[in-house]
Amino acid sequence: MNALLQSPEFTLDRSRHAAPQVFERLRDMIIDMSLTPGTVLSRTELAARFGLSQTPIRDALQRLGEEGLVDIFPQHATVVRPIEVALAREAHFLRSAIELEVVHTLAERQDATLIARLKSNLARQRALAEEDDVHEFSQADQAFHQMMYVAAGVPNLWHIVRSQSGHIDRLRRLDLPSPGKRERVLADHAELVGAIEQRDAALAQTVLRRHLSGTLSNIEEIRERHPSYVR
Query: Residue 34 maps to which CATH number?
Result: 1.10.10.10
Distance of CA 170 to the CA centre of its chain: 7
230 assigned to some structural domain: no
Statement to judge: residues 121 and 35 lie in one domain: no
Q: Is the pLDDT of residue 3 over 70?
A: no
Beta bridge partners of 230: 83
Domain containing 41 equals 2-80
pLDDT band at 102 (very low <50, low <70, confident <90, very high): very high
What does the H/E/C string look like for 134-182? HHHHHHHHHHHHHHHHHHCCCHHHHHHHHHHCHHHHHHHHHHCCCCCHH
Q: How many domains does the chain have?
A: 2
Statement to judge: residues 45 and 90 lie in one domain: no
15 assigned to some structural domain: yes
231 assigned to some structural domain: no
Statement to judge: residues 104 and 137 lie in one domain: yes
Statement to judge: residues 105 and 189 lie in one domain: yes
Q: Please write the tens of the pLDDT for every residue from 7-20.
A: 545 677 777 788 89
Q: CA 136 to CA 138: how far, in whole Å? A: 5
Last residue of a domain, one of 51, 80, 109: 80
Statement to judge: residues 101 and 202 lie in one domain: yes
Phi, psi of 71 (to 5 degrees): -105, 125
Dmax over CA atoms of the chain, in Å, equals 57
| % of residues, the chain, pLDDT over 90 | 79
